[in-house]
Amino acid sequence: MPIKHDAHKAAEFIQQQKPNFKPKVGIVLGSGLGALAELIQDKTVIPYEDLPGFPVSTISGHAGKLVLGYLNKVPVVCLQGRVHPYEGTSGEKIKTLIRTFKTLGCEIYLATNAAGSLRVEVAPGELVAITDHINFQPGNPLVGLNDDDFGSRFVSLDEAYDPILRKNLHKAAEKLNIDLHEGVYLATLGPVFETPAEIRAFRVLGADVVGMSTVPEVIVARHCDMRVVVISAITNLAAGMSTEILSHEGTLHYANLVSDKMCKLVSEFMEHLDNE
């Protein structure tokens, strides 16, 4: 018997609000980066509270709205704000978010996040295309019974971050004259920021940026056989690398400063999807 999942209920509700709409790209927007949703045209907006089984974000900078419409003529479904494991969000709820994308017909999962840089030359205000990740969050959203309707029991994460999509992202950045770095994302649980000693250790392990999100979503997206592309907006140098006292307010401040650049890049990237 198939495992029942809230994603099916959420997708059915969404389809009732915008009939015959099939998105190609599912987008998740990180802290302070919700402005991208304002660029979506012919949009339908649904609060998370109205969606069956959807978790509701408790963090400032995450609006908690699902937006359907067209971004540079590409049909998209966009989550204006995510939920995090440190909020107490279960792996089941994270599966609901991403599997709703899949159930609606999305082929690509695109995520943005706010992150700290472990490289001095990649300063606040810069953008990083993620090439791989290191998972320091406890648990895994796929633990438990497997739902074969979404994917097989065991999932390869080789090239989890699609190299062709990343190449197109660089093409978009070049056209806009935007510097786009590349790097490995290390995910911690949070909500505390990392210690300077941890950052030194993470650098030895090969991390370039650090944050508290995204990786559980990527795991679920790959289980669903969705192609993945992730962009980090650098909001600070990591702990011990500057005199700044890290805070969520600082994260939102610098995310807002880089938001315009992120919006232009993602919008331009959509134009390159038809040129693969």
pLDDT digits (tens, 9 = 90+) for 59-92: 544 468 899 999 999 999 999 878 887 777 777 8
| Whether the predicted pLDDT of 243 surpasses 80 | no
| From 11, 207, 212, 262, active-site residue | 212
Q: For residue 253, what pLDDT band results from cuts at 50, 70 and 90?
A: low
| From 117, 213, 232, 259, active-site residue | 213
Residue 62: per-residue pLDDT: 45
| From 8, 170, 181, 248, active-site residue | 248
Residue 61: per-residue pLDDT: 45
3-state secondary structure (DSSP) of residue 172: helix
Is 236 tagged catalytic? Answer: yes
CA-to-CA dists, residue 231 to 109, 128, 211, 214, 254, angstroms? 11, 6, 12, 10, 15
| From 5, 84, 133, 223, active-site residue | 84
Is 84 tagged catalytic? Answer: yes
**Roughly how many angstroms between the first and final C-alpha of the chain, as a whole number?**
38
The string over 99-112, giving b where at least 16 C-beta atoms fall within 10 Å of a residue's C-beta and e elsewhere, is bbbbbbebebbbbb
What whole-number distance in Å separates Cα of residue 101 and Cα of residue 171? 26
- Nearest C-alpha neighbor of 96 from the set 151, 54, 49, 139: 54
The string over 219-231, giving b where at least 16 C-beta atoms fall within 10 Å of a residue's C-beta and e elsewhere, is bbbbbbebbbbbb
Is 248 tagged catalytic? Answer: yes
Is 62 tagged catalytic? Answer: yes
Is 232 tagged catalytic? Answer: no
| From 86, 107, 140, 253, active-site residue | 86
Between residues 247 and 101, which one has the greater pLDDT?
Answer: 101
Is 213 tagged catalytic? Answer: yes
| From 113, 117, 232, 236, active-site residue | 236
pTM above 0.85, yes or no: yes
Q: For residue 250, what pLDDT band results from cuts at 50, 70 and 90?
A: low
| From 62, 168, 187, 221, active-site residue | 62
| From 7, 111, 114, 226, active-site residue | 114
Domains of the chain (ranges plus CATH)?
6-275 (3.40.50.1580)
* DSSP state, residue 243: S
